């Protein structure tokens, strides 16, 4: 049937499956490209958080010295800095989750509709996958803060109270 219809001049047959396969391959490559970019971005963020918290800790030498003079243990000083860093980056992660979800919704309502018209349906991942991705993002966000601030916190924990 395809062969017969294909003989009609000015008519091109586009089967659903090859389009679907091509789209999937393209999206797969795009996914790995984004993954590599995201990995490099995370490394850069880690470096940035370390620099930032080195500066923050230096600004707060007086406060830290006061806490040490009051009898704060080195571990307590570290905990204060790491918890603060984790909370700040977690808040950033939460904002990022919201933004990411908005972008996916926007995609579903624009390009998603276009792909659907070509026979490539936009399928949401299962709920558990979405929740897992969200949880993993939050863990990464908090982790970036804690790991990034670790070196400045380690250095300052033994700061002399004077």
- Residues at the contact surface with another protein, assessed by CB under 8 A: 63, 66-74, 76, 158, 160-162
Q: What is the CA radius of gyration of the chain?
A: 26
| Shortest distance, position 147 Cβ to another protein, whole Å | 24
- Hey, is 122 helix, strand or coil? coil
Residue with smaller CB distance to another protein, 25 or 158: 158
Long-range contacts of 64-72 (CB under 8 A, 24+ apart): 64/156, 64/159, 65/159, 65/160, 65/161, 65/162, 66/161, 68/159, 68/160, 68/161, 69/161, 69/162
Q: Minimum distance between the CB of residue 144 and another protein, rounded to whole angstroms?
A: 24
Q: Which is nearer to another protein, 66 or 135 (CB)?
A: 66
Q: How far is the CB of 77 from another protein (least distance, A)?
A: 9
Q: Which is nearer to another protein, 21 or 73 (CB)?
A: 73
């Amino acid at each position: 049937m395809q062969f017969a219809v294909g003989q009609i001049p000015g008519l091109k047959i586009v089967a659903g499956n090859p389009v679907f396969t091509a789209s999937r391959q393209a999206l797969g490559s795009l996914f790995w490209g984004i993954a590599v970019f995201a990995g490099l971005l995370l490394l850069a963020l880690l470096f940035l958080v370390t620099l930032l918290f080195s500066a923050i800790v230096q600004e707060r030498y007086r406060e830290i010295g006061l806490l040490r003079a009051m009898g704060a243990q080195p571990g307590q000083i570290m905990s204060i800095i790491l918890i603060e860093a984790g909370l700040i980056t977690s808040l950033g992660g939460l904002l990022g989750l919201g933004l990411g979800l908005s972008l996916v919704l926007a995609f579903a309502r624009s390009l998603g509709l276009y792909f659907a018209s070509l026979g490539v349906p936009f399928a949401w991942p299962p709920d558990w996958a979405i929740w897992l991705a969200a949880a993993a993002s939050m863990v990464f966000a908090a982790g970036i803060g804690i790991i990034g601030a670790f070196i400045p916190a380690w250095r300052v924990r033994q700061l002399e109270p004077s």
